[in-house]
Amino acid sequence: MSEPRNTPDSTETEGTAGTEGTGVGSEIPVSLHGCPVDRRSTDRSWVVHCNRADYLELCTALKADGCAMPIGVTGVDYLTHPGRDLPEGISAERFEVVVELLSLRAHRRVRVRCQVPAGDPHVPTLFDLWPGTENHERETYDMFGIRFDDHPDPSRILMPEDWEGHPLRKDYDTGHVPVRFKEAAP
């Protein structure tokens, strides 16, 4: 098995910068509006971590910075994940709301990863900043049960209205059909 990490722009390269904070390239900031930037960010794609309290403030500031286009909002349920690499000051929670933003002028993507606790999963809506997050937030609610406060239409979007549960949660059982081999019957 050969060592696979050989691309220069690989986001997974570790050890390029031993000291935290200097980052991989000089262009990448250590933090954005008080929120830590992931050390694996590349020049064209920054990843910012935040807690729920800073979420709306960070997104508002990012919009003011020129991230004019909302690419998408989605969620991740880290219930059974063995452990994430999060920067200091960010406490790992079960859910993460991932917002992908694009700055057309700077040709740069910014991804916001917001920690959302399992007990009461809700975050403020970004509808008032970018109306284009409407469908994505509805989908995230539908799939993960994360509520978006003040969303204009907080209903399910893909699943039937009377569906119980949120399918992309890790504790949502998909069920299975046992594989029956020939002559396995008694």
Partner 1 sequence: MSHRPSSSEPAPQAGDPVGQAERRRPAKVTLLDRILGRVPAESDELEQFLETKTAEGIQEMAPRERSNRRELTVERGGSVLRLPEGIQLDSSDIDLEAPEDETMILNLGPSHPSTHGVLRVMVELDGETVLRAKPVIGYLHTGMEKTAEELMYHQGGTNVTRMDYLSPFFNELGFALSVEKLLGVEVPPRATWIRMLMCELNRISSHLLWLATNGSDIGAINMLIYGWRDREMVLAFFEKVTGLRMNHNYIRPGGVAADLPDGWRDDVLALCEAIPRRMDEYDRLLTGQPILQKRLQGVGPLEAATAIQLGVTGPLLRSTGVAWDLRRDMPYLAYEDVDFDVIVGTEGDCWDRYAIRFNEIRESVKIVRQIADMMPPGDFRTQDKKVTPPPRGRIDESMEALIHHFKLYTEGFRVPPGEAYVPVESPRGESGCYIVSDGTSRPYRMHMRAASFANLQALAPLSRGALVADAIAIVSTVDPILGDVDR
Residues at the interface with partner 1 (CB under 8 A): 1-2, 4-7, 10-13, 40, 44-45, 47, 68-72, 74, 76-77, 80-82, 84-85, 98, 100, 104, 107, 109, 111, 127-128, 130-136, 139, 141, 143, 152-164, 167-168, 174
What would the two tokens of residue 164 be? 């119980």
- In angstroms, rounded to a whole number, what is the distance separating the alpha carbons of residues 112 and 103? 13
| Residue 120: both structure tokens together | 């009461």
* 177 Cβ contact list (under 8 Å, min separation 6): none
- What are φ and ψ of residue 110, in 5° steps? -125, 125
Tell me the closest approach of the beta carbon of residue 1 to partner 1, in angstroms: 5
Q: Which residue carries 């000089």 as its tokens?
A: 26
- Quick one: 61 or 71, whose CB is closer to partner 1? 71
Considering the complex, what minimum distance in angstroms separates the CB of residue 68 from partner 1? 5
Sequence letter at residue 32:
L
Closest to partner 1 by CB, 179 or 185: 179
Length of the chain equals 186
Q: How far is the CB of 99 from partner 1 (least distance, A)?
A: 11
- Minimum Å gap between C-beta 34 and partner 1 is 22
- Token readout for 178 is 């046992």
Q: Which is nearer to partner 1, 176 or 185 (CB)?
A: 176
- Residue 186 CB, shortest distance to partner 1, in Å, is 28
19 or 174: CB nearest partner 1: 174
The tokens describing 128, both together, are 């008032």
Instruction: Give 68 or 186: the residue with its C-beta nearer to partner 1.
Output: 68
Mapping DSSP to helix (H, G, I), strand (E, B) and coil, where does residue 143 land?
Answer: helix
| Beta carbons of 52 and 115 less than 8 angstroms apart | yes
